Chain A
Amino acid sequence: MDIPKDLVAASATPLVLTILAEADSYGYAIIKRVAELSAGQLEWTEGLLYPLLHRLERQGHIEGTWGASESGRKRKYYRLTADGRAALAGHQAQWRTVSTALEGAWTAIKLDFGPSGAFA
């Protein structure tokens, strides 16, 4: 399935905030977690992730600290802040609204393309 760029971009912020709400993490692990959560459907590029992380950090939603990896390499870890938690709650409400509206409309017209993409 090809997910359009706009949708990937729009869902990027809530996804990062959610993953950091699970646990503190770092760039590479976040990309792996995104792939895991979307069953490999969402493939983020580094060019998307790192600038986004830095923007969220500037806005105070997440906080980065330099630490070391298991092998002793320099690594930047990110942590969700109180502001970020509040922002995540907002994102959650927005996405629930959109998703509920779509599901409701689809149920109403009994339109179901099913997971295989064919008319059921």
Chain B
Amino acid sequence: MTDALDTQIDLWRAHMERRATVTTTDVDELEDHLRGHIESLTAAGLSDDEAFLVAMKRLGSQDDIAHEFARENSKRLWKQLVLGASEDEARGARASGWLPAVLFAVAGAALVRLPLFGDINGWAGESYARAAGVIGLAAVVAYLLWRNAPGRTLTAAVAGGMAALAALALMYPLRAGGDAFISTMLHVPVAAWLLVGLAYAGDRWRTTEGRMDFVRFTGEWVIYMTLLALGGGVLMGISALVASAAGVDPATVLTEWILPCGVGGAAVIATWLVEAKRSVIENMAPVLARVFTPLFTLTFGVLLVVVLASGNILNLDRNLLAVCNAILVLAAGLVLYSLTARSDDARTGWFDWLQVALVTGALALDLLALVNIVTRIGDGGWTFNRTVVLGANLILLANLAVSAWLLIRVTRDEGGAVLRLERWQTALLPVYGVWVLVVIVVLPPAFSLLKT
């Protein structure tokens, strides 16, 4: 082939690589294709120029190719939106409008604030604490249902689910501040968030892709909530300083009005931002995953060393166990989050090995925690708290063990391993839901924790 032809192909390459939806390896493959076609044409008697033109024509317009590649390379909704898939257009228009989001945010703020008018130190306050997850996320669910319009059955299921969850949270007479009370308070938000997922994924909730989208949404929502909380915190700090300087006590206004309203509103605004500003966070997610995975791996190492060095492996401090659990949940979340940031054609690299290290560390920590819990149960018998912690740890153990095994297969570049990991992680979502219901509904009466 001549230099002139190479120049032309290089030019085509440069144009093609500028497309956001086509990766460099995609272009490599297409270039081989193009050159192969040109070779067979020149062999048939065409000149280089003619062959190039014919092959280009055959390859189709760059727009068409980029479009087709985008379909496969990206399951992300926003990219399909950019390409103008008709079905998603209506959804896109609804997703980007800020006014509805603000209206729902105001409703969310009101919903969080209203119960505070009641007898906050008595029955109303207790109910509020137990159902906080439902109250705080009701506006998010409503906004998602309005935006996605997922069909009557699903809408009814989600709305009914939220109502049922609130009813279940308030069903038993529990001692305020008791073990069952606190565990209900902590578990209701998890179940409510799964209902948010149902509202978000819509009719695609059965599919791995739909659930992965929800996981992505969760990660990005948390990022936006964190950013909003930081901004809100700074604003509240400044307001407090100004008010104090002016001789007014700002505590009541800040804690009873600004804070609850801010949290209720921010939950909806973050939901809107995830959809409306997709491309921003999509670029950030891989970076965050890469920053925090090494840090967490390091933390696990340190924690393991601390625990082992204490020389008291079988009788860990109760608080240390609680910390371990919190960190384990974070680790499982981080694996899931990294998965969403992984591009499909990513090759195995140091990052995958780091993830294996992270999960292995988490697994070791989880086993340690489990041994401790089982020892406690053996010594002191079954209690409500021990059962709750044991269940959560067993689910985590299954999650981490299978994840570790699948991650090792990913590092070996086995075909379909990433997909299997996605399937496994998303298949667990309903399991969390079932366990949460067991903790809220079955365990309190089973341990006779109901107030008589």
Contacts and interface: CB of A to CB of B under 8 A. Distances in A.
Interface of A: 26-29, 31, 45-48, 50-52, 54-55, 57-63, 69, 71, 73-76, 81, 83
A63 B418 CA distance: 13
B36 interface: yes
A76 B33 CA distance: 10
Q: Which bucket holds chain B's interface residue count?
A: 20 to 34
B409 to A, nearest CB: 10
B73 interface: yes
B391 to A, nearest CB: 33
12 contacts: A27-B32, A47-B65, A50-B30, A50-B69, A54-B345, A55-B72, A58-B418, A59-B415, A59-B416, A60-B415, A73-B32, A83-B416
Contact of B32 (A45, A51, A76): A76
Nearest to A48: B68
A57 B415 contact: yes
Interface of B: 25-26, 28-30, 32-33, 35-37, 39, 59-60, 64-65, 67-69, 71-73, 344-345, 414-420
A60 B29 contact: no
Residue from B26, B30, B416 whose CB has the most chain A CB atoms within 10 Å: B416
The 3 A-B pairs with the shortest beta carbon distances in the complex, nearest first, are A60-B416, A60-B415, A51-B72
Given A47-B60, A47-B64, A76 B69 contact: no
Q: SS class of chain B's interface: helix, strand, loop or mixed? A: helix
Contacts of A61: 415-416
A28 B37 contact: yes
Contacts of B39: 71
Contacts of A58: 344, 416, 418-419
Contacts of A75: 32
B415 A62 contact: yes
Given A57-B415, A60-B416, A47 B69 contact: yes
Given A54-B26, A71-B39, 20 more contacts: A31-B33, A45-B60, A45-B64, A46-B30, A46-B59, A46-B60, A47-B64, A47-B69, A48-B68, A50-B29, A51-B71, A51-B72, A52-B72, A55-B72, A58-B416, A58-B418, A59-B416, A60-B419, A61-B416, A74-B28
Contacts of A48: 68
B36 A76 contact: no
A58 B344 CA distance: 7
Nearest to A65: B413
A52 B33 CA distance: 15
A79 B68 CA distance: 23
Given A28-B36, A45-B60, A76-B28, A51 B419 contact: no
Given A47-B60, A51-B71, A59 B32 contact: no
B29 A27 contact: yes
A46 B32 contact: no
A62 B414 CA distance: 10
Contacts of B69: 47, 50-51
A60 B64 CA distance: 26
Given A46-B59, A54-B345, A76 B415 contact: no
Contacts of B28: 74, 76
Given A28-B37, A58-B344, A59-B419, A76 B29 contact: yes
A54 B65 contact: no
A26 B39 CA distance: 15
Contacts of B30: 46, 50
Contacts of B71: 51
Nearest to A54: B72
A91 to B, nearest CB: 17
A23 B303 CA distance: 52
A63 B29 contact: no
